[in-house]
């Protein structure tokens, strides 16, 4: 049980596995009013940067869950580095079936709503671990500018134009699901650049050291086209944000 190897190779140098900068991750923690003693559940936590840095900055504790053994090893090392290993724990499990043993103050899934087959199912899963009055955090793409055709959507690594709504449509969708939007922090182009461009350097260094690996041709082909596709398509059309919700 693990993530595809190609994904973990490209993002093995990342501490944040989404288009947020470290500063935006810190801003999100301040925006939602974290306080000492709060408990946070982070499903599909990646390398644990959110939970570890929030624990150090705000005195929160909690649990991160991920399917990647590579990322979880990095998360535990980060917890040791920041001196919060006694306050946070990381669990190797399929996040799509994980429910906290005790209700938490904040339940989050940033950029992996596939664990619930989309936003509605992911919110339902998160809510099973949330105390009454707690906060849900969901990170999700949206169209910053609607692509003119399906080819452009695919160039953004999105299956179809219907996969994501524009920002106002995404915000509007939370109400019928029974939630108020109470905060949001949106990624910026510089965050997309850091997230995507860092993959190129990691990939190139991996290729230099592993030229005979069976996966090398696939990663080589991706690196050949990724910078131009990012500049021409994804940077323009695709947005991403984290939305804080409370049940009505």
User: What are the average pLDDT values for consecutive 10-residue runs of the chain, which has 248 residues?
Assistant: 82 92 96 98 97 98 96 97 98 95 97 96 98 98 97 95 97 98 96 95 96 95 95 96 98
Query: Kindly report the CA angle at 136 between 240 and 92, in degrees rounded to 5?
Result: 85
CA-CA distance, 36 to 60, in Å (whole number)?
Answer: 5
pTM, whole model, 2 decimals?
0.95
Question: What fold is seen in the domain 5-143+164-188+240-247?
Answer: Rossmann fold (3.40.50)
Residue 1's pLDDT is 60
CA-CA distance, 64 to 84, in Å (whole number)?
Answer: 13
The domain ranges of the chain are 5-143+164-188+240-247
Upper half-sphere CA count for residue 208 (Cβ side, 13 Å)? 6
Residue 4's pLDDT is 85
CB 153 within 8 A of CB 161: yes
Residue 92's pLDDT is 96
List alpha helices for 83-181, DSSP H. 119-127, 150-155, 167-174
CA-CA distance, 141 to 205, in Å (whole number)?
Answer: 29
């Amino acid at each position: 049980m693990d993530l595809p190897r190609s994904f973990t190779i490209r993002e093995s140098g990342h501490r944040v596995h989404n288009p947020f900068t470290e500063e935006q991750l810190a801003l999100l923690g301040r925006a939602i009013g974290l306080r000492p003693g709060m408990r946070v559940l982070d499903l599909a936590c990646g390398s644990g940067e959110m939970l570890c840095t929030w624990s150090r900055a705000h005195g929160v504790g909690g649990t991160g869950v991920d399917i990647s053994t590579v990322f979880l090893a990095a998360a535990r090392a980060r917890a040791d580095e920041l001196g919060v290993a006694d306050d946070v724990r990381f669990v190797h499990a399929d996040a799509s079936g994980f429910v906290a043993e005790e209700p938490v103050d904040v339940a989050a899934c940033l950029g992996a709503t596939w664990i619930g087959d989309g936003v509605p199912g992911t919110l339902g899963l998160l809510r099973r671990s949330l105390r009454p009055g707690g906060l849900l955090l969901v990170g999700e793409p949206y169209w910053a500018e609607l692509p003119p055709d399906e080819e452009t959507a695919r160039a953004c690594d999105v299956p179809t134009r219907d996969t994501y709504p524009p920002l106002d449509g995404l915000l509007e969708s939370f109400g019928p699901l029974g939630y108020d939007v109470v905060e949001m922090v949106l990624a910026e182009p510089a965050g997309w650049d850091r997230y995507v461009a860092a993959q190129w350097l990691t990939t190139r260094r991996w290729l230099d050291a592993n030229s005979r690996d069976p996966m090398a041709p696939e990663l080589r082909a991706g690196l050949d086209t990724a910078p131009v596709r990012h500049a021409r398509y994804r940077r323009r059309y695709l947005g991403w944000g984290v939305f804080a919700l409370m049940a009505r």
